[in-house]
Structure 1
């Protein structure tokens, strides 16, 4: 979004790295994980593109409408998936947040999305509250817990080797980093 260039480029790198890891996760043998990873890769790369500092490249106004269309389509697709998994509800909120940010940027490109001291708009505030809660919950899920008896990472008594795309702690860290990035983008809106 808009702000100093260095944090903007760090945000671009974080989102692009998350998107790249999600592409790696799409190679999983588990179909639901592939579908989830695809939605998260779209979100990561879309956030990276949207976070490019304005000093580096000021996109034409139609770009924001393209972002809104892409993430609007993603939201509609995700709406269908919400029936089978509550995790997709988070993807729906994320896609709607991207549509909202794109619409805000299209509406006021000259003002860089700032409301001139009028405070935080209601939708931005609600999204900030949601993503703060999501980040705190995701961070807490990364905390180590005592192993449950019989759950030592084995499958039938033999250790199972997980590929990089199937490691649950990495996918949770990826979701956490994208949640933090979304917070940063909403704060600078």
Structure 2
């Protein structure tokens, strides 16, 4: 069948291709740090003011060259435009639902909430440090876990000195909370 008659996905459900760890639970706010919120706003502005207009120029130029069926600049430009538009819709929705939470407002609190940097120790005494961040800021390599992850849900509302149990992929684990610190997330 000719590609001209095959309809590609419009991407109406912008979260359709996301991994489950990046999807927000239905009806919840998109909690995010001030730095994460600013990064999303900057990316949206870059896409709208720079990237998209540039790609539109390329597509317009390619369309003016004639036969579009074998015009790579036109075909790939249109595909890139769909990707940009999908990302713009996604970022717009995320920013509309964003609730910026500044961890510094917690002050000298030993109870765990969004934005806390928590040091925990397992039964073997191995210590790890995690920062509870928004879904879009998650980075396991940097010790940043999403507030909707099983570990973060177990930690939230616990205090320094408490022990928490949670279901990990390796089974039920128990961790002792050693330290809770609130600082600027970059």
Q: Given the two structures, how large is their TM-score scaled by the length of structure 1?
A: 0.32
Question: Max radius of gyration: which structure?
Answer: 2
Q: Given the two structures, how large is their TM-score scaled by the length of structure 2?
A: 0.33
> Which has more strand, going by share of residues?
2
Q: Bigger relative contact order, structure 1 or 2, given CA contacts below 8 A and separation 6+?
A: 1
